[in-house]
Homo-oligomer: A and B are copies of this chain.
């Protein structure tokens, strides 16, 4: 029984995966507190005890999901940055990719945000890591003269916050069809600022 490790057999790996996917669903829909182990195992079509072969607690499954989801978000956003367009245009694409991703997998947003309360360390880790990468990109763009000089760390957090709020308002609560328009407006703000 590998507690922190991965399962040894094909069957084991499949079970663990089933449980994780069911947990993602249930945590996403009900939130951590209201999510019950019995509901998770019901959807995973296993016995309750089975879950404890692969995870040592309810918190541990949750943490695993946060890590997984963080990795996924970073992948989605980073992949969108590729094109050889302007640095700022690339950032625009990253924001668009993020918002569409939130709209497609709303459980992601909820789980990561709830981590602030369920597992503060994982939450902080996730955003700090993300911010560092963002900061590095901004610094590089600055060095290349593609953006005005300024504190890259503050900018990274400000822009991340923007993305989170827009994701909540438009991708989660609003009409997904609006997203592209929102991205245009938001990036106009980031590019030119508010001053006339």
Report which A residues bind B (CB closer than 8 A).
31-33, 88, 113-114, 116-117, 124, 131, 145-148, 150-151, 154-155, 157-166, 168-170, 173, 181-182, 185-186, 188-196
Contact = CB atoms under 8 A, between A and B. Distances in A.
What number of copies of this chain does the assembly contain? 2
A123 to B, nearest CB: 10
Contacts of A181: 151
A157 B151 CA distance: 22
B148 A195 contact: yes
A43 B168 CA distance: 36
Given A124-B173, A161-B165, A164-B161, A193 B196 contact: no
A151 B185 contact: yes
A73 to B, nearest CB: 15
Q: Which 9 pairs between the two chains have the least Cβ-Cβ distance?
A: A161-B165, A193-B193, A154-B185, A161-B161, A151-B185, A192-B193, A147-B194, A158-B162, A161-B162
Given A148-B194, A150-B188, 11 more contacts: A124-B173, A146-B196, A147-B196, A151-B182, A157-B166, A157-B169, A158-B189, A161-B166, A161-B168, A164-B164, A192-B195
